[in-house]
Amino acid sequence: QVQLAESGGGLVQAGGSLRLSCEASGRTVERPAMGWFRQAPGKERELVATISWSGDSTYYGDSVKGRFTISRDNTKNTVFLQMNSLKPEDTAVYYCAASRYSLATTAPAYYEHWGQGTQVTVSS
């Protein structure tokens, strides 16, 4: 069983930056693509970004393109989400997830392991 632990969330003013981290532990013999999702109160969970196992393929949701960057360090079983130019509408709980596939995938159904989430709050 894979465990995912997010960190780095917090309160930031609009225009600021945060860097989220997600460390995988446990049975990490798989080679999963990783994704970041977010869910705001009253809204559905949405994909923020995903990255393939090799790191050479990434995908971003339209609302974060050009502002967020996903990366990974497989030697440390860790994936990162650098968030710049944050907006109040970025406020949400951010979840890290591990896919059952190595290629970057966008649908939540393809992700079989999820973290507990970390709160990101952007004040105006």
pLDDT surpassing 70 at residue 29: no
Residue 43's φ and ψ, nearest 5 degrees, are: -120, 160
Q: How many CA atoms lie less than 13 Å away from 58 in the CB half-sphere?
A: 19
Is beta strand 118-123 parallel, antiparallel or unpaired with respect to 10-13? parallel
Q: How far apart are CA 22 and CA 114, in angstroms?
A: 10
DSSP state of 14: T
C-beta atoms surrounding 112 within 10 Å:
13
| Residues 39-81: tens digit of each pLDDT | 999 999 999 999 999 999 999 999 999 999 999 999 999 999 9
Give CA 20 to chain center in angstroms: 7
C-beta atoms surrounding 43 within 10 Å:
9
pLDDT surpassing 70 at residue 37: yes
pLDDT surpassing 90 at residue 2: no
pLDDT for 84 = 98
